[in-house]
Amino acid sequence: MRRLVIAPHMDDESLGCGGLLAKHPEDSTVVVVTQSGDDRRAEHARAMELLGVTDTRCLEYVDGTTQQFMSELVGRIDDVMADVQPDEVYLPFPSLHQDHIGVYEAGMRSARLSMSPGHWVPNSVLVYDIAVYDVNLYPSDLRWNVFESLTEEQADLKAAACAAYASENPGGAHPMNSIKEIAATVGHMRKVEFAEQYALVRQVRR
């Protein structure tokens, strides 16, 4: 099972899919669309080290510009899809941040059924939750309907990976400081100790 997590920024992959990545590090590829400078790169490298993910890539777009390069971005993601050939693709929920909307839309277009030779179509497309954004401005019918159970160790690794992004942490009462508690809340609602939530867009069972 090959899993491709596409993140708008360096930290979104850990906030949304850190538990999944800790659970399946050897089968996962992380692609970050934008770059945010050397400090964030170092934090990202540390987060991936904690989660055990070795296949990471950055498309190097400037923060806030993804929607300005939609056609090009879709083509770049197409290239990653063809290279990784993932069974499952994970995209950010298109919430408040413009880059989250841009990357969601580009990822959905890349996951299309195409008549182009060599175009890779993943069996499953899921959208992940980033708890720091609680306002949804994008009209969609997405619902949290898939729940990935986590062990306490995996929840701890997710929390540690998120904590590695010290430059992004505002301190105090904030979702970035409650990662394990959020995973416990999502899990307890589904009768498991810890979990992450996803919205299933498409699944082809073979």
For residue 134, the model assigns a pLDDT of: 66
Instruction: Kindly state the DSSP code that residue 194 receives in the 8-state scheme.
Output: E
Q: Which helix (H) or strand (E) holds 128?
A: strand 124-128
Work out whether the CA dihedral 120, 3, 133, 49 comes out positive or negative.
Answer: negative
pTM of whole model > 0.85?
yes
- Tens place of pLDDT for every residue, the chain, 206 residues? 999 999 999 999 999 999 999 999 999 999 999 998 999 999 999 999 999 999 999 999 999 999 999 999 999 999 999 999 999 999 999 988 899 999 999 999 999 998 888 899 999 999 999 987 766 777 888 999 999 999 999 999 999 999 999 998 889 988 889 999 999 999 999 999 999 999 999 999 98
In angstroms, the CA 95 to CA 180 distance is 22
